[in-house]
Amino acid sequence: MQNQYRLGIDAGGTFTDFILADRKGDVRIFKALSTPQDPTLAIRNGLKLIEEETGISATEIVSNADLCINGTTVGLNALIQHKGAKAGLIATKGHEDSIEIRLGHKEDGYRYDPEYPPATMLVPRYLRRGVSERVISTGAVHTSMNEEDVREACRHFLREGVDSVAISFVWSVLHPDHELRAAEIVREMMPHVRLTVGSQLYPQVREYTRTSTAIVNAYLAPILTRYVEAVDGYFRSLGAKNPVRYFQSNGGLAVGSVVSDQSVYAINSGPASAPQAALYIAEPWGLKNIITVDMGGTSFDITLTRDGRANVSKNIDFLRYRIGIPMIQVETLGAGGGSIGWIDAMGLMQMGPQSAGSEPGPAAYDQGGTQPTTTDANLVLGYINPDGLVGGRLPLNTQKAREAIKARIADPLGLSVEKAAYGMFNIVNNNMVNAIRRVSVERGYDPRDFVLNCAGGATGAHITALAREMGITRVLISKLASGLCAYGQIISDVKYNYMAPAPIRLDGVGAAQRLDGLFAGLETKGVADLTRDGFTQDRISIRRSLDMRYVGQVHECTVEIDPFALTDDALTKLIDAFHARHEELYTYSERQSVVEIVNVESAIWGRVDRPNRMSVAPGKGAASALEGTRPMIFDAGALAQDVPVYAGARLGAGDKITGPAVIEEITTTLVIEPNWQAELHESGVYLVDMIGA
């Protein structure tokens, strides 16, 4: 880091987090309320707040920063609220409806629900137009394109006032000429619309996924373009030396023009930086298998790294829309501080996914909420300070919390309030544990081989309990945990994905050579892009992945490799790796069966220098940070015991705390359960180990 500062800004649902790192190793976190109506307003407000608290002006920070990095929820919010652009689709005639047929499927869990509506069409049927043209599975042209059909579609879109167009044809990935010619016609007839071309945005086999990805991109592009222009302009006006970098769902940074053109990459950028942050936090201990859990007010996000690499998802339904591009796998569950406890029609206690949100919020907020929430349970259990969260700015009403739990949970089930509260705590934890299984066990990983990393403001109260439930014996909690994603963004690299279709069976000759050629083509382009972006060769790294399966399967296992030359010999090893991975996931492999590849991808990184690590002065022993005690409950018997409470700000490096105990940081509360011991490391991270494990 050559300049004075690096600034990270991550917009979340409730708060926008700011991380300001300086050259000396001072890393500070600030929070401003998010402003979804005008997302740039929260940035201005936050910078004003930083000036108030530190005396350093926005201009001084930005003009002396090597990088300003922004993770945004603009795309996410537009998709959630269906407030994207008016977009049109040009498709192969006969296939205009694949996007609405949605593979003929209704989501699990809603099969008999008469109230569950179909997904809202981002491009309604009257804005989807077919063109006579057809390429077949061999890549040959079966029917050449009727250009007049494209022109007719444009005339229709012009009449309807469409401002973004997606083009997606069947098998265009094997023969993009038709799409490219159609794009020329659209540009000529509609020069002012944003244009998304399926085979360019997402060159992978699977028509439904590609078309859907193109549509989501077209739907968001005009909105992200406006946003990027506003943010870039604001930072330029403050004297920024370098363009603002935006954080993408693939876990890397991009410049604004990429986000405008490939908006779908910006869709879930916030939590995607968690794996990067986790690896950075764990680096002093050399830990590379990490599950990061991030609990906020309404949701719980889980990410995982194994051997230092993040789980990546492709071809998933995101907010009910199929998206193909590689995204850091984020498993999201409706479980947070505001999750409501209730009793279902069968008589079983449940937590969430409904949330009391911030208004009225948990009963303890005393803003009229009468439904018992996770926060209410944690308060009754003594875990969180009744004087309130966020440094005492929001006092909590224990009586209201007790009343809500008594009326809705304890009385109907015939339990004491304390037992009910402990039950709520347990059930929300178990919901989270089941979700953690989806990123670990379902991927063939044993969670006991991982450490658990804490992110988000509400997670600290649950973190040792979650580890206990998963059989995990080591936990990491950064003092910056509540702003961990913004922290992850300022230590991330630039990353772009380059993809190609490769429907190749690995039983003939020449397969290795073909693949090698495909990768070389992708990587030449990627390296050129990063070189243009100012990265020298020594800062560029490449990772390849191949989607492999047994011939006849339709789901692929993604196998990742380094960019070595793909000889026949290397290919044999690759196939072995696939058999092994299949066995890991599904308990068996078929060594005698032919393996095929469907798609390939190269991820290309441009390394960005890291800011200096946070540093904490040596401590004088934990006793000096003792604040007092509070009665707390740590078992199903619901017997309260007096438990020490420590002020995190007064703890120093090397200080040790044995559970049961609570450590109160400014933006989060850490519950150290019995049988756990925490030690604050000089890097500002609590290393919490199960005693005797």
Min dist CB 383 to another protein, Å, is 17
Residue 285 lies near another protein (rule: CB under 8 A): no
Task: Give the Cα separation of 395 and 389 in Å (integer).
Answer: 7
| Of 53, 83, 137, 387, the one binding another protein by CB under 8 A | 137
Task: Give the Cα separation of 54 and 634 in Å (integer).
Answer: 40
DSSP bridge pairs for 164:
87, 194
> Site mask, another protein, residues 374-413, x = CB under 8 A?
--------------------------------------xx
Site size toward another protein, by CB under 8 A: 75
Task: Give the Cα separation of 660 and 688 in Å (integer).
Answer: 12
Min dist CB 424 to another protein, Å, is 9
Min dist CB 208 to another protein, Å, is 5
Work out whether the CA dihedral 333, 334, 335, 341 comes out positive or negative.
Answer: negative
Task: Using the minimum distance from each CB to another protein, give the nearer residue, 171 or 280.
Answer: 171
Is there a contact between 411 and 402 (Cβ–Cβ < 8 Å)? no
660 preceded by a cis bond (ω within 30 of 0): yes
The footprint of another protein on residues 143-172 (CB under 8 A) is 170-171
| Of 414, 628, 637, 692, the one binding another protein by CB under 8 A | 414
Is there a contact between 58 and 47 (Cβ–Cβ < 8 Å)? yes
**Tokens (6 digits) for 113:** 């629900």
- What's the Rg (C-alpha) of the chain? 26
| Of 3, 14, 45, 426, the one binding another protein by CB under 8 A | 426
The footprint of another protein on residues 649-678 (CB under 8 A) is none
Task: Give the Cα separation of 597 and 504 in Å (integer).
Answer: 5
Task: Using the minimum distance from each CB to another protein, give the nearer residue, 312 or 663.
Answer: 312
Task: Give the Cα separation of 66 and 364 in Å (integer).
Answer: 43
Residue 317 lies near another protein (rule: CB under 8 A): no
Task: Using the minimum distance from each CB to another protein, give the nearer residue, 125 or 226.
Answer: 125
Q: Among 492, 461, 455, which Cα is nearest to 476's?
A: 455
DSSP bridge pairs for 131:
92
Task: Using the minimum distance from each CB to another protein, give the nearer residue, 160 or 609.
Answer: 160
Contacts 24+ apart (CB under 8 A), 414-420: 416/638, 417/380, 418/380, 418/381, 418/633, 418/638, 418/640, 419/636, 419/638, 420/377
Task: Using the minimum distance from each CB to another protein, give the nearer residue, 194 or 419.
Answer: 419
**Tokens (6 digits) for 523:** 């990587």
The footprint of another protein on residues 548-567 (CB under 8 A) is 550-555
Q: Cβ neighbours of residue 416 under 8 Å, at least 6 residues apart?
A: 410, 638
**Tokens (6 digits) for 266:** 């910006």
Task: Using the minimum distance from each CB to another protein, give the nearer residue, 108 or 562.
Answer: 108
**Tokens (6 digits) for 15:** 């708060």
Chain position carrying tokens 């944690």 = 378
**Chain mean position to CA 421:** 30
The footprint of another protein on residues 500-519 (CB under 8 A) is 503, 505
Min dist CB 409 to another protein, Å, is 9
Stretch that binds another protein, among 16-24, 79-87, 435-443, 660-668 (CB under 8 A): 435-443
**Strand, helix or coil at 69?**
strand
The footprint of another protein on residues 66-125 (CB under 8 A) is 94-98, 100-106, 108-109, 111-115, 117-118, 124-125
Residue 142 lies near another protein (rule: CB under 8 A): yes
Task: Give the Cα separation of 537 and 527 in Å (integer).
Answer: 8
Min dist CB 491 to another protein, Å, is 34
Task: Give the Cα separation of 348 and 427 in Å (integer).
Answer: 11
> Site mask, another protein, residues 347-366, x = CB under 8 A?
xxxx----------------
Stretch that binds another protein, among 37-45, 239-247, 338-346, 649-657 (CB under 8 A): 338-346
Min dist CB 572 to another protein, Å, is 21
| Of 2, 345, 532, 538, the one binding another protein by CB under 8 A | 345
The footprint of another protein on residues 618-637 (CB under 8 A) is 636
Task: Using the minimum distance from each CB to another protein, give the nearer residue, 379 or 432.
Answer: 432
Min dist CB 16 to another protein, Å, is 34
Residue 434 lies near another protein (rule: CB under 8 A): yes
| Of 585, 647, 653, 666, the one binding another protein by CB under 8 A | 585
Min dist CB 61 to another protein, Å, is 47
Min dist CB 156 to another protein, Å, is 12
Task: Give the Cα separation of 691 and 693 in Å (integer).
Answer: 6
Min dist CB 267 to another protein, Å, is 21
Stretch that binds another protein, among 54-62, 65-73, 585-593, 682-690 (CB under 8 A): 585-593
**Tokens (6 digits) for 598:** 């469907």
| Of 586, 623, 631, 691, the one binding another protein by CB under 8 A | 586
Torsion of CA 199, 203, 204, 205, to 10 degrees: 30
Classify each residue of 8-24 as buried b or exposed e, where b means 16 or more C-beta atoms within 10 Å of its C-beta.
bbbbbbebbbbbbbbee
Q: Cβ neighbours of residue 120 under 8 Å, at least 6 residues apart?
A: 82
Cα distance between the two ends of the chain:
39
Min dist CB 204 to another protein, Å, is 10
Min dist CB 423 to another protein, Å, is 4
DSSP bridge pairs for 664:
647, 669
The footprint of another protein on residues 202-261 (CB under 8 A) is 205-209
